[in-house]
Amino acid sequence: MTISLDAVYAVSDDVVAREIEGEIIIVPLVAGIGDLEDELFTLNETGRAIWDKLDGRRSLNEIIKELSAEYQAPPGELEADVLGLVSELARRRMLVAV
């Protein structure tokens, strides 16, 4: 799956994202999101930091710039994380391009 850094992504209507006790829990709403019908998902620390910015308004490039400033990390390193997370979530139908 090719992800453009100019693209804007938002949480898909096929899932419900909840924050419980500081953890993001992604709950499939429709069939076919998980391999099994009762699976829930959560994000690692890196995924969580990126997820918080996937609001359907900012492009991935903008998100990388913001994260770079916040974490004082090189944009190139962050790009791999952002593309990794977004492609994984998009493949699972948890994110959609808007």
Partner 1 sequence: MSKATPSYVAKVSAARHRLWPGRAPLLGQLDLELTERCNNDCIHCCINLQENDSAAKKWELATDEITAILREAASLGVLSARFTGGEPLLREDFQDLYIFARRLGLKVMLFTNARLITPDLARLFARIPPLEKIEVTVYGMRRESYEAVSRVPGSFDEFRRGVGLLLNKKVPFVVKGAVLPPNWKEMEEFETWAITIPAMDTPPTYAMFFDLRGRRDSTAKNRLIRRLRVTPEDGVILLRRRGRAYLQEMRQFCGKFMGPPGDLLFSCGAGHGACVDAYGMVQPCLLMRHPDMVYDLKKGSLKDALTNFFPRLREETRAANPDYLARCARCFLKGLCEQCPAKSWAEHGALDTPVEYFCRVAHAQARDLGLLRDGERAWEVNGWKERILRYDN
Interface residues with partner 1 (CB under 8 A) are 16-18, 20-21, 23, 25-31, 34, 37-47, 49-50, 67, 71, 73, 77-78, 80-81, 84-85, 88-89, 92, 94
Token duo for residue 1: 């799956």
CB of 26 to partner 1, least distance (A): 8
Helix, strand or coil for residue 71? helix
3 vs 41, beta carbon nearer partner 1: 41
CB of 54 to partner 1, least distance (A): 12
CB of 57 to partner 1, least distance (A): 21
Report which of 46, 45, 79, 74 is spatially closest to residue 60, judged by C-alpha positions: 79
Token duo for residue 29: 């709403």
6 vs 21, beta carbon nearer partner 1: 21
Do strands 23-28 and 9-11 pair parallel, antiparallel, or not at all (unpaired)? unpaired
